[in-house]
C-alpha cells in the first residue's frame, strides 16, 4: 500500500486559506502597479513598447532575484513573507512618487544625444525604482505558496492552486488599474491605491486572533497615502509661466499654462508634452489645419476634426461660411474641460450651435459612425508620441476615405521637426497610398498633406473662399487674406510628392514603423533644416497662379521661399543669416506679415544675445531695428522701454511701456518697464503701484 496522506485539520485549512487570499491580493497589487509603471515610463521616450519592455525587465529581474533569495531562507518563513508584503505595500506608492518627481528632474538635465542615451538616462534610474517591488513580489511568491501548502505530498496541487489565485489577482489588478483607478483618481493617487491590496494581503495573513499585522497594514497604507499627498501633484510649471488649470486623466495630465510676460500666450500640455499654444505662430498653425482643406473644397458643409486640443482648428471650421455641421472628436475629456481659457481663440466652438463634441478615439469614431463628411482634418499630437502613430497608418486613411463624400478632402499634419527625412517620406508615402492626388502645403516647420477623394486638388479654389469678408478677416492678422499670398504656401503637387516619397515604406497597423523610428529623431540632431531643404528642392508653384496673379504671386512665392530658408538658418542657430533672409522676404512682400513678425522676433533675440555678451550698443541697434518692423510684441516693447530708461530717455520709455500694456495689460515685463520709466516723469506713486502689481503677478 502507498503512503497514507494526512488530512488537514480545520484550523490548518483556515490557516492555508489566508495565504491563498493573500496570494490573490499580491497579484492584484503587482499587476495594477505594472500598468502604472508602464504608463509613467512612456514619458521617458514616448513609446509604449519601450516603456513596457523597460518595466517588465525591472519586474522580472526583481522576481528572479527575490525568488532566489527566498530559496535560501530556512528560518521563520511566515515572518519573511510578512516582511515582503509590508515592503511591497509601502514601496508601490513610494515608487510612484519617485517616478513622478524623478522623471521630470532627469528631463531638466538636458536632452540626450540619441535614443539609446535617452533610454539609459531615463530607464536605468526607473529600473532601480521598480526593481525592489519585483524583488519583494518574487520573494513573497515561494514563501507564501509553501505556507499555503506545507506538506511535501501536497506541494504540486498546492502550488497550482496558489498560482491560480495569484494569476487571478493579477488579471483583476490589470483591470482595476486601467478601468477604475486611472479614470477615477489619475496616475498619482492610483499608485497609493495600488498599495492597498498588498497591505490587505499583510492583514489577511495574520493568524486568527492576532491584530498585529492588521495594525501594521493599516499604518503602511496610511503612510502610502500620506507620502502621496505630501509629494504634491508634481505639476511642472516652467519659469515665466503661471498655472491656469490642471487635471489628471487616463489620457495623461492636462495642464494649461500662461506666460507671465505675454499673457495672451497659453500653452496646453498633455502627458508632459506640449500639445498646442496660442502664440501667433501657434494660432496660425492651428487655423491653417482647418483652412488648407476647407479652402480647396468648393462648398464644405460637414466637417470632422480629430483631436480637439485648444479647439482653434475646430473653431475655425465652425465659423466657415458654408459649414453646417461640425463633429469634434477628442479621446481625453480632460482636454475639453480645460478648454475654457482658449475660448477667445477658438470662437467658443464648444457652445457653437452647429458643433457636436464626441468623446471617443478618432479612429473608432470613423469606424463606427455612418456620417459622411466633406472635410476631415486634425489638431493632433506629434507622431513620435505614444499611440499617435494610429493616426498615421494606411488603415486610418482608408477609414477617412470611406467616411468622405465624393470629392471630400482629407488633411494630415506633417511636422518637420523631430522627424527624420525617412520618417517624413514614410508619412507621405502612406498618405499617397490612399490619396494619390495629394498636395503638400508648407509654412515654417509645419507642413500639411491635403488629398481629395476621387478628384485632384484645385488650389485656385482658394480665391473664391477668400473673397468672403469673414474668412479674409480671420486670416488678415497673419497677412494671408490675399489669394496670392495663401497660394504661395503651396509646395508640392502629386508628381513632386511621388518623387519625394519614392522608395519609402508604408506605415500600417501591422507594421507601424513610425512608432519606433520617430522617437529617434526626438533625441538626435535637429532635422528641421534638412527636411525643409529637401522640400524646397522639389517646390513647385500651383498651376495657373502666376498667370492669374502675375508679379504679385511671384513676389509672394519668392518671399515664402526666403522665409523657409530663414527657418533653416534659425534651426542652425545662424541668427544674423536668419534676420537677413527674413528682411529680404518682408521687403519682397510687405503683406507677408509672418515674415515681418518673425524678423522682429529674430532681431529681438539677437539683441538679447548682445546684452548677454556685454555689447549694449549693438543690442540697442538690434532692438530698434526690430521695433522698426512695425510688428513689435509686448515683450519687445517692454525691453525697448527698459533700455530707453537706462539711457535716460524717459518719454519714449513711458510711451513704449504704455504700448506694451495696451497689448498685454497684465504683462509682468510691461508693468516693470512702466514702473521703471515712470519716476523719470515725476510720477513715483504710479511707479510703485506698477512695480507692486508686477511683483504680485510674478508670484501668482
Fold of 10-230: Growth Hormone; Chain: A; (1.20.1250)
- For 241, phi then psi, to 5°, come to -125, 160
Domain ranges in the chain are 10-230, 273-541, 633-700
Pairing of strands 404-415, 446-452: antiparallel
Position 266 scores a pLDDT of: 96
pLDDT digits 0-9 by tens, 215-254: 999 999 999 999 988 887 777 788 899 999 988 877 778 9
pTM of the complete model: 0.89
Q: What's the helix, strand, coil split of the chain in %, to 5? A: 65, 10, 25
Question: Same topology for domains 273-541 and 633-700, yes or no?
Answer: no
Position 16 scores a pLDDT of: 73
Position 297 scores a pLDDT of: 97
Whole-Å CA distances, 609 to 272, 578, 620, 644: 29, 14, 11, 18
Q: What is the 3-state secondary structure (H, E, C) of 295-332?
A: HCCCCCCEEEEECCCCCHHHHHHHCCCCCCEEEEEECC
pLDDT digits 0-9 by tens, 8-50: 544 445 557 889 999 999 999 999 999 999 988 887 667 778 8
Instruction: Report helix, strand or coil for 439.
Output: strand
The alpha carbon dihedral of 624, 625, 626, 630 has a sign of positive
User: Could you tell me the three cell numbers for 566?
Assistant: 530663414
Query: Residue 519: exposed, middle, or buried by beta-carbon count in 10 A (0-12, 13-18, 19+)?
Result: buried
Position 681 scores a pLDDT of: 75
d(Cα 66, Cα 58) in Å, to the nearest integer?
12
Q: Report which of 486, 493, 423 is spatially closest to residue 452, judged by C-alpha positions.
A: 493
Contacts of 138 (CB under 8 A, 6+ apart): 62, 63, 64, 65, 66, 67, 69, 70
d(Cα 605, Cα 622) in Å, to the nearest integer?
9
Helices (H) and strands (E) in the chain, counts: 28, 12
Exposure on the CB side of residue 493, measured as CA atoms within 13 A: 11
Q: Are 366 and 397 in contact (CB under 8 A)?
A: no
Q: Are 43 and 96 in contact (CB under 8 A)?
A: no
Q: Are 287 and 312 in contact (CB under 8 A)?
A: yes
Q: What is the second-level CATH architecture of the domain 633-700?
A: Alpha Horseshoe (1.25)
d(Cα 110, Cα 122) in Å, to the nearest integer?
12
Q: Are 285 and 689 in contact (CB under 8 A)?
A: no
d(Cα 191, Cα 40) in Å, to the nearest integer?
11
Query: Residue 407: exposed, middle, or buried by beta-carbon count in 10 A (0-12, 13-18, 19+)?
Result: middle
Query: Residue 405: exposed, middle, or buried by beta-carbon count in 10 A (0-12, 13-18, 19+)?
Result: middle
Position 656 scores a pLDDT of: 96
CATH class of 273-541: alpha beta
Q: Report which of 290, 297, 294 is spatially closest to residue 454, judged by C-alpha positions.
A: 297
Q: Are 443 and 284 in contact (CB under 8 A)?
A: yes
Residues lower than pLDDT 70 in the chain:
1-15, 44-45, 108-111, 151-154, 208-210
d(Cα 519, Cα 119) in Å, to the nearest integer?
11
Amino acid at each position: 500500500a502507498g503512503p497514507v496522506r494526512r488530512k488537514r485539520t480545520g484550523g490548518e485549512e483556515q490557516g492555508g486559506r489566508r495565504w491563498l487570499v493573500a496570494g490573490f491580493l499580491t497579484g492584484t497589487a503587482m499587476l495594477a502597479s505594472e500598468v502604472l509603471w508602464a504608463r509613467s515610463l512612456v514619458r521617458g521616450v514616448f513609446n509604449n513598447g519601450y516603456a513596457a519592455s523597460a518595466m517588465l525587465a525591472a519586474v522580472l529581474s526583481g522576481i528572479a532575484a527575490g525568488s532566489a533569495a527566498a530559496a535560501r531562507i530556512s528560518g521563520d518563513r511566515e515572518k519573511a513573507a510578512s516582511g515582503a508584503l509590508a515592503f511591497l505595500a509601502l514601496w508601490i506608492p513610494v515608487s510612484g512618487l519617485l517616478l513622478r518627481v524623478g522623471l521630470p528632474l532627469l528631463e531638466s538635465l538636458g536632452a540626450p544625444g540619441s535614443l539609446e542615451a535617452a533610454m539609459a538616462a531615463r530607464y536605468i534610474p526607473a529600473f532601480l525604482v521598480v526593481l525592489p517591488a519585483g524583488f519583494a513580489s518574487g520573494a513573497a511568491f515561494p514563501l507564501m505558496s509553501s505556507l499555503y501548502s506545507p506538506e511535501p505530498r501536497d506541494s504540486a496541487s498546492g502550488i497550482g492552486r496558489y498560482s491560480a489565485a495569484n494569476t487571478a489577482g493579477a488579471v483583476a489588478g490589470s483591470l482595476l488599474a486601467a478601468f477604475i483607478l486611472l479614470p477615477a483618481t489619475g496616475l498619482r493617487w492610483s499608485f497609493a491605491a495600488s498599495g492597498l491590496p498588498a497591505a490587505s494581503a499583510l492583514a489577511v495573513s495574520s493568524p486568527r486572533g492576532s491584530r498585529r499585522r492588521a495594525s501594521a497594514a493599516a499604518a503602511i497604507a496610511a503612510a502610502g497615502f500620506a507620502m502621496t499627498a505630501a509629494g504634491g501633484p508634481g505639476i511642472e510649471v516652467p519659469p515665466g509661466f503661471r498655472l491656469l488649470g490642471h487635471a489628471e486623466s487616463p489620457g495623461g495630465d492636462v495642464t494649461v499654462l500662461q506666460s507671465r510676460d505675454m499673457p495672451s500666450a497659453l500653452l496646453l500640455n498633455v502627458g508632459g508634452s506640449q500639445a498646442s499654444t496660442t502664440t501667433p505662430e501657434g494660432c496660425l498653425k492651428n487655423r491653417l489645419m482647418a483652412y488648407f482643406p476647407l479652402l480647396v473644397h468648393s462648398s464644405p458643409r460637414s466637417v470632422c476634426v480629430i483631436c480637439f486640443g485648444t479647439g482653434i482648428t475646430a473653431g475655425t471650421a465652425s465659423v466657415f461660411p458654408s459649414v453646417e455641421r461640425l463633429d469634434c472628436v477628442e479621446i481625453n475629456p480632460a482636454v475639453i474641460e480645460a478648454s475654457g481659457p482658449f475660448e477667445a481663440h477658438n470662437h467658443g466652438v464648444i457652445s457653437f450651435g452647429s458643433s457636436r463634441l464626441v468623446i471617443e478615439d478618432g479612429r473608432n469614431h470613423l469606424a463606427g459612425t455612418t456620417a459622411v463628411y466633406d472635410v476631415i482634418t486634425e489638431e493632433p499630437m506629434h507622431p513620435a508620441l505614444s499611440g499617435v502613430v494610429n493616426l498615421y497608418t494606411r488603415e486610418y486613411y482608408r477609414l477617412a476615405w470611406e467616411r468622405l463624400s465624393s470629392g471630400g478632402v482629407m488633411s494630415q499634419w506633417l511636422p518637420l521637426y523631430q522627424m527624420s527625412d525617412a520618417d517624413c517620406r514614410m508619412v507621405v508615402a502612406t498618405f499617397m497610398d490612399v490619396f494619390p492626388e495629394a498636395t503638400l502645403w508648407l509654412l515654417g516647420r509645419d507642413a500639411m498633406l491635403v488629398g481629395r477623394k476621387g478628384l485632384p486638388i484645385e488650389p485656385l479654389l482658394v480665391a473664391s473662399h477668400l473673397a468672403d469678408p469673414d474668412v479674409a478677416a480671420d486670416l488678415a492678422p497673419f497677412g494671408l487674406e490675399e489669394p496670392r499670398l495663401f497660394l504661395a504656401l503651396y509646395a508640392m503637387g502629386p508628381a513632386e510628392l511621388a518623387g519625394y516619397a519614392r522608395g519609402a515604406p508604408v506605415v500600417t497597423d501591422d507594421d507601424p514603423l513610425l512608432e519606433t523610428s520617430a522617437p529617434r529623431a526626438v533625441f538626435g540632431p535637429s532635422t528641421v533644416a534638412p527636411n525643409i531643404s529637401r522640400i524646397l528642392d522639389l517646390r513647385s508653384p500651383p498651376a495657373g497662379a502666376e498667370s492669374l496673379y502675375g508679379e504679385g504671386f511671384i513676389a509672394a512665392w519668392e518671399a515664402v521661399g526666403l522665409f523657409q530658408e530663414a527657418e533653416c538658418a534659425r534651426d542652425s542657430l545662424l541668427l544674423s543669416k536668419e534676420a537677413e533672409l527674413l528682411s529680404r522676404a518682408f521687403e519682397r512682400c510687405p503683406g507677408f506679415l509672418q515674415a515681418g513678425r518673425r524678423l522682429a522676433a529674430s532681431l529681438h533675440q539677437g539683441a538679447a544675445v548682445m546684452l548677454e555678451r556685454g555689447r549694449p550698443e549693438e543690442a540697442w541697434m538690434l532692438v530698434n531695428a526690430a521695433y522698426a518692423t512695425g510688428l513689435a510684441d509686448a515683450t519687445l516693447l517692454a525691453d525697448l522701454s527698459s533700455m530707453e530708461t537706462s539711457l535716460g530717455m524717459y518719454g519714449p520709455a513711458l510711451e513704449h511701456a504704455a504700448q506694451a500694456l495696451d497689448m498685454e495689460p497684465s504683462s509682468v515685463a510691461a508693468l516693470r518697464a512702466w514702473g521703471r520709466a515712470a519716476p523719470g516723469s515725476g510720477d513715483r506713486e504710479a511707479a510703485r503701484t506698477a512695480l507692486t502689481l508686477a511683483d504680485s503677478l510674478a508670484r501668482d
